[in-house]
Amino acid sequence: MLLAIDIGNTNITLGVWNGRIWEHQWRLHTNWQLTADEYGITLTALLGREGLQDSINAVIIASVVPALTETFDQLSRRCLNLVPQHVTAETDLGLEILTDTPTAVGADRLVNAVAAYRLFSGPAIVIDMGTATKFDVISGKGDFLGGVIAPGLGLAAETLTRRAAKLSSVPLEAPPQTIGRNTSEAMQAGLIFGYAALIEGIARRILAEHPDQGQPIHILGTGGLIDLVTPHTNIIEYVDPWLTLTGLRVIYERLSGNR
């Protein structure tokens, strides 16, 4: 079985692929201070609980947290006795990276592009709501064209409460109406509906500039916060909070086939 690991700035997602379906998927908090041994205890417990500790025969990792890239490399070698594959811009992804500096593009963005093209075989926009809100643009040939990066919803909420003396934190959920009847509702409206409007506005600008105007351009949503916004916009046609794991699985299959 394949263990796919996506290391992000806020969350680490893991999934076990059995060749047909995902056996299990998990989401952990990112803590760059934890050691390979400490994360290893968690991984061993997760796999052991499901009886999978002896079933993993391959590991693939995408990371945007350099401090944890080596940590999870060590974890794989120590806990699973496996040398992991690391996804970077130099990996054979099956797509061209048509940006000014391909090596500067985060591995998660490239992996999402691979997943989107595998799903729809055509032009697409992936909206990933995590620490940042990212829009990644894929051509009809599957090439990575670039994108947009905005502050994440959680980051915006945290900054708002930290920088405004009279505003306290609120649950990240939609209020009953746009016009807030109290400060909490007003903040929730600005955050949830504001990000729904941001997504719609940026997506429409990208659609207007996309080079494949004659084809249907699919819009996908992913990331740990995507479910907060999707009920309030109809521009996203496909939602998968685990899309990055799908991309890692596709890349692993490609690399295995090449060998």
SS3 174: coil
| All residues at 6 or more sequence positions from 211 whose CB lies less than 8 Å from its CB, including other chains | 139, 145
- What's the CA gap between 63 and 65, in Å, rounded? 5
What sign has the CA pseudo-torsion 69, 119, 128, 30? negative
What does the alpha-carbon distance between residue 70 and residue 219 come to, in Å, rounded to a whole number? 33
Instruction: Assess contact for 87 and 107: CB atoms under 8 A.
Output: yes
Beta-carbon contacts of residue 65 (< 8 Å; ≥ 6 apart):
7, 8, 9, 30, 32
Tokens of 222: 């992913």
**Active site amino acids:** 108
Adjacency order of strands within the sheet including 22-29: 22-29, 11-17, 2-7, 58-63, 85-86
Tell me the β-bridge partners of 126.
136, 220
Instruction: Tell me the H-state helices in 81-193.
Output: 107-120, 153-163, 183-188
